[in-house]
Amino acid sequence: MIAVVAHVGNLAATLPAFALTKSSIIIALAIVTDLGPSILLPSEARIYLEMVSTEPDLNEIRYYGMYNAKRSAIQVFQLAIIVVMVYIRWGGF
């Protein structure tokens, strides 16, 4: 909690120094929304619930495990987030 408060304070103090444009903020929000909890979290919860059930269905666990493995290619977007953050910081877009 202390780290969050310190980060927000630092962000508020340094935000005017950034060359933020409307398009860079929209791009950053779109990427973060794409990586949000709607992609992998529900299937991870299903895997967990199936594993702790009295009779786990291994086929269902395998299915959702492969689902997550295929969706993990989305990690390419993490690199895109870094690129967008650099552009936001140095005034790109």
Query: Which 3-state string (H, E, C) describes the chain?
Result: CHHHHHHHHHHHHHHHHCCCCHHHHHHHHHHHHHCCCCCCHHHHHHHHHHHCCCCCCHHHHHHHHHHHHHHHHHHHHHHHHHHHHHHHHHCCC
pLDDT, mean of residues 10-22:
67
User: pLDDT, tens digit, for every residue of 46-55?
Assistant: 899 999 999 9
> Closest Cα to residue 80, out of 36, 28, 2?
28
User: pLDDT, tens digit, for every residue of 17-47?
Assistant: 665 666 767 777 776 666 656 666 788 888 9
The backbone torsions φ and ψ at residue 57, rounded to the nearest 5 degrees and listed phi first, read -90, 105
Give the pLDDT confidence score for residue 63 in this predicted structure.
93
- Is residue 50 within 8 A of residue 61, CB to CB? The reply is yes
CA–CA separation, 1 and 76 (whole Å): 30
Mean pLDDT of the chain: 77
